[in-house]
């Protein structure tokens, strides 16, 4: 069975963000476990004393950021629980750019927009 279109897009987005962060001197680990109740992040990145837990999503142009309200609420709850020992970010690929959001107790604040070159999956 071949992976779904959504899965493939999100996977490519994860690899693109991972490679971008590596280029910014971060060490990055991709989380592959996807079970109910497992950690809701795709990447963990660190550099010096900075630790970032990142959720990466990819959406089509005709959708809006409102579709991520559930993810933002879930990530904000994790932030408030103080169980994550670092920053929490949501990176969304939309309209040919990655928009990065810092998660806080009350929601998300956009921290940047990055034009990352497209990641090519060498296994395809």
- For the segment 63-112, what is each residue's pLDDT rounded down to a tens digit? 555 677 888 999 999 999 998 999 999 998 877 788 999 999 999 999 99
Q: Is the pLDDT of residue 122 over 90?
A: no
Phi, psi of 109 (to 5 degrees): -125, 130
pTM: 0.81
Average pLDDT over residues 42-51: 95
pLDDT given at position 117: 64
* Residue recorded with tokens 């750019």: 97
pLDDT given at position 24: 93
Better pLDDT: 85 or 122 = 85
62: which 2 tokens?
């005709």
pLDDT given at position 103: 96
């Amino acid at each position: 069975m071949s992976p779904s279109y959504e899965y493939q897009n999100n996977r490519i987005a994860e690899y693109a963000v991972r490679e971008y962060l590596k280029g910014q001197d971060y060490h990055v680990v991709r989380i592959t476990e996807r079970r109910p109740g497992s950690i809701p992040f795709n990447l963990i990145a660190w550099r010096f004393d900075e630790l970032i837990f990142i959720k990466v999503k990819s959406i089509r142009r005709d959708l809006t950021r409102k579709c991520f309200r559930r993810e933002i609420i879930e990530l904000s709850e994790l932030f408030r629980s103080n169980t994550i020992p670092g920053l929490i970010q949501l990176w969304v690929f939309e309209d040919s750019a990655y928009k990065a959001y810092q998660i806080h107790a009350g929601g998300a604040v956009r921290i940047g927009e990055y034009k990352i070159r497209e990641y090519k999956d060498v296994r395809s």
